[in-house]
Amino acid sequence: AQSVTQPDIHITVSEGASLELRCNYSYGATPYLFWYVQSPGQGLQLLLKYFSGDTLVQGIKGFEAEFKRSQSSFNLRKPSVHWSDAAEYFCAVGLYNQGGKLIFGQGTELSVKP
Amino acid sequence: DAGVIQSPRHEVTEMGQEVTLRCKPISGHDYLFWYRQTMMRGLELLIYFNNNVPIDDSGMPEDRFSAKMPNASFSTLKIQPSEPRDSAVYFCASSLGTGNGYTFGSGTRLTVV
């Protein structure tokens, strides 16, 4: 069955430090992969997506993610975190043979220390 | 574009009452999804539509839940009768084609007391 695992429930980083959020997926075919961000009381906003091609994808707000097929991973990175990045981050796999429906991980809550 | 519009933003109702959540997708999008978010279960897909037709409702918890999409610009999710365990944030999302990711609405926070 398809699934997404985000091993870290909560991460705290200092402002200006680098960030890496982990995501592992289980899917029998080449996946569509996504990262979303959710601020408190808000809906989810798409940060970036991977379909094919270059395994390093750039997104909004200075985020990037790297697809590693051998590790079934799609980790999100940012070189320097800003206080406004504090939010919850969701990784998702898109099932293109099932209407593109997304299976989400449980999310990682990011806190940023001043 | 105004994005995906959901109403109401907040709903408080008593157990046993009927609740109707509304969604207006982005114009031109052909897929519409209803998700539920809770602390315990995270984001769960309830049902999705393609060109107004329900395709997969396997995530609908039970017969108390029903969803309709009478036209391309409107969908409803109804709970009747509501129960306290239905308390959650309900999101509507729409997309153009498959594999493009979704645009989410701001959600409806439902509290059943």
Per-residue pLDDT tens digits for B42-59? 999 999 999 999 999 999
Contacts of B55 in chain A (CB under 8 A): 99
Per-residue pLDDT reduced to its tens digit, B21-37? 999 999 999 999 999 99
Among chain A residues, CA nearest to B41: A106
Q: Which range is least confidently modeled, A56-60, A92-96, B66-70?
A: A92-96
The number of angstroms, rounded, from the C-alpha of B45 to the middle of its chain's C-alpha atoms is 9
Q: What are phi and psi of A52, to 5 degrees?
A: -170, 175
Name chain A contacts of B107, Cβ cutoff 8 Å: 42-43
Taking only residues 49 to 78 of chain A, the set having a beta carbon closer than 8 angstroms to any beta carbon of chain B reads 49, 51
User: How big, in percent rounded to 5, are the helix, strand and coil portions of chain A?
Assistant: 10, 55, 40
Taking CA atoms, what residue in A is nearest to B40? A106
How would residue B107 be classed by pLDDT, with cut points 50, 70 and 90? very high
Which tokens sit at B63?
């017969």
The structure tokens listed for B71 are: 């036209």
The whole-number pLDDT of residue A38 equals: 95
Of B31, B101, B104, the CB nearest to A49: B101
Give me Rg for the CA atoms of chain A.
Answer: 14
Check A46 against B101: CB less than 8 A apart.
Answer: yes
Partner-chain contact A100 B103, CB within 8 Å: no
Per-residue DSSP letter, B41: T
